[in-house]
Amino acid sequence: MKKRIMVVGPSGAGKSTLCNIINNAARLLKKTQDVIYGPHTIDTPGAYLENAWMYKYLIATAQGAALLLILVDQANPREVYPPGFAKTFTCPVVGVVTKADLAPENRELCRQQLKRIGVAEPYFYLSLTDGTGVAELLSYLENKKVLKGRETM
Please indicate, yes or no, if residue 152 is contained in any of the structural domains. Answer: no
Which ranges of the chain would DSSP assign to H, the alpha helix? 15-23, 46-50, 55-61, 107-117, 134-143
Please indicate, yes or no, if residue 59 is contained in any of the structural domains. Answer: yes
Rounded Cα–Cα distance for residues 84 and 22 (Å): 26
The domain total for the chain is: 1
Write out the residue range of the structural domain in which residue 51 sits: 4-143
Please indicate, yes or no, if residue 151 is contained in any of the structural domains. Answer: no
CATH number of domain containing 72: 3.40.50.300
Q: Please give the chain's pLDDT, 153 residues, in tens.
A: 568 999 999 999 999 999 999 998 876 666 667 899 999 999 999 999 999 999 999 999 999 899 999 999 999 999 999 999 999 999 999 999 999 999 999 999 999 999 999 999 999 999 988 999 999 999 999 998 888 766 554
Please indicate, yes or no, if residue 71 is contained in any of the structural domains. Answer: yes
